């Protein structure tokens, strides 16, 4: 295991940390979708999500309407929709063996600046925020990536 990586008991389920800028839209959708699909598959893995810079002035409320609409379209009742966005901390990287940032172009520079000691542990997806991608395209990309991730964790 790499230096700084989480250690875990073999009886524990792998845990996934999804990261985005505000922990309001993409990472929240990924967290809810992952947990729903893992439970449906009978897989013990669970996820959580955090943001590099949650900002209630930019993202009012607890979770994006885009994320809620995407979850409802899939028949998923969000379990943590009432939780406010949370900022990522160093201990989050120690607790989660799988850390995924939703956009390499957006999040890799932030990781390297704020948490350089963990930057090499991050897997980056290519799911862009609303300025660069429609909600439909972004949520479809997250759904494909989450399903692929679950396939690798169950293989």
Per-residue H/E/C for 111-141:
HHHHCHHHHHHEEECECCCCCCCCHHHHHHH
Q: What is the pTM of this model?
A: 0.89
pLDDT at position 12 is: 55
What is the chain's pLDDT, residue by residue, as a tens digit (155 residues)?
333 333 333 345 669 999 999 999 999 999 999 999 999 999 999 999 999 999 999 998 999 999 999 999 999 999 999 999 999 999 999 999 999 999 999 999 999 999 999 999 999 999 988 778 888 999 999 999 999 999 998 87
What residues contact 110, with CB distance under 8 A and at least 6 apart?
21, 52, 53
What residues contact 49, with CB distance under 8 A and at least 6 apart?
17, 18, 19, 20, 23, 27, 28, 30, 31, 86
pLDDT at position 128 is: 87
pLDDT at position 94 is: 94
Q: What whole-number distance in Å separates Cα of residue 46 and Cα of residue 2?
A: 22
In the DSSP assignment, the letter for residue 79 is: S
The structural domains of the chain, ordered by start, are: 15-154 (3.40.50.2300)
pLDDT at position 154 is: 82
Tell me which residue has tokens 């990924």: 30
């Amino acid at each position: 295991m790499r230096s700084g990586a989480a250690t875990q008991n073999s009886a524990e389920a792998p845990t996934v940390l999804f990261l985005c800028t505000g922990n309001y839209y993409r990472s929240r959708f990924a967290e809810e979708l992952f947990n729903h699909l893992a439970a449906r598959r009978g897989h013990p893995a669970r996820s959580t999500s955090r943001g590099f810079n949650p900002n209630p002035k930019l993202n009012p409320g607890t979770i994006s309407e885009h994320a809620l609409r995407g979850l409802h379209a899939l028949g998923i009742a969000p379990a943590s929709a009432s939780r406010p966005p949370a900022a990522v901390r160093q201990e989050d990287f120690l607790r989660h063996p799988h850390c995924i940032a939703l956009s390499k172009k957006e999040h890799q520079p932030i990781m390297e600046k704020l948490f350089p000691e963990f930057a090499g542990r991050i897997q980056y997806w290519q799911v862009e925020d609303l300025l660069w991608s429609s909600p439909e395209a972004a949520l479809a990309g997250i759904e494909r990536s989450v399903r692929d991730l679950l396939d690798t964790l169950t293989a």
